[in-house]
Structure 1
Amino acid sequence: MERPLPDDLITKAASIRLLALDVDGIMTDGRLYFTAQGDELKAFNILDGHGIKQLRRSGIEVAVITGRSSPLTARRARDLGIQHVYQGREDKEAALRELLSELNISNEAAAYMGDDLPDLGAIMLAGLGISVPNGHWYVREQADYCTEAAGGEGAVREICDLILQAQNKLADLHLTYHSGGATDGA
């Protein structure tokens, strides 16, 4: 059974052709972990990864736009088949504008998910701006939607499911798992 969603949210999500994601605080819990040798560690949520794969299989582009540069982010994007990766981009609105131009997608057909003030311009530009409950209060107030799940704890999957539900693709996708037809990991 699909969950009830507000009509205005369904309308916005129904037209989404691109989901652009911040990394730290969205795809991760926002903490930075370093070893004694200075190596960076990140923990990504497997539920989020599977949701991203489902979106891509359904014809929706997925991108990463992050202010930090990390080989771990590049690897996770590669593992998930995300082709559009913008690292080291402090001006996320400008990066999103470039991506929309490159893909010939209108801002109304884009969703952007971020948690802090550097994400605000991209959230405001996108047709569907999304934040998380562990995000900055001002960003949450400006977003069209704030997930129930926290960043790094299934928030991306929540949005993937929401978009697929609004586009009437989620129920059929779920049925493919009843028959054992879809089994790839994330």
Structure 2
Amino acid sequence: MTAFNAANEFQKQDNLEIATFAGGCFWCTEAVFLKIEGVQSVSPGYIGGEVSNPTYQEVTTGRTGHAEAIEIVFDSNLISYGELLEVFFATHDPTTLNRQGADVGTQYRSEVFYHTDEQKQITEEFISFLNSENAFGKPIVTATSQASTFYVAEDYHKNYYNRNSDQSYCTYVITPKMDKLKAYFQDKLKK
């Protein structure tokens, strides 16, 4: 496995940007963002840890310090970073520390890894707004950190939900998130 930086994978275009989010299991967050208009690609992987080239088996122990995350390449002419944040916060629980549902451990934490000072500012202001509005009924625990090396997950994790939607985890955990996405963000979905 090698480190991945989406910025190196495409010819730099003014309208293409990167966003990196950890919101629990990366199968869930990947499935959500693959449906969003303006998203060019979504890569599941690992970020924020101490070990180089971690494997899924290592990350699931919670001892590497990595979060399961996704790296999104998006066209800012079609969707803004702020709109991606809106989808991110609406499709996971940002009020539970180191867990999403039955997935427990630091690898399932809620964290935004910013790539620019502007992303940092937008993220901090958005979290502050959500807290001031008491949007979730509890304080948001989502961390905000500068993006570090992102390691792409093993191939069998890519497009997991679309390839395994009949599996029980997908049916009970991911499908409800997809239903919520369709209900609340119909205008942001790919046609």
What TM-score results when the alignment is normalised by the length of structure 2? 0.26
Q: Structure 1 or 2: larger strand share? A: 2
What TM-score results when the alignment is normalised by the length of structure 1? 0.26
Q: Structure 1 or 2: larger helix share? A: 1
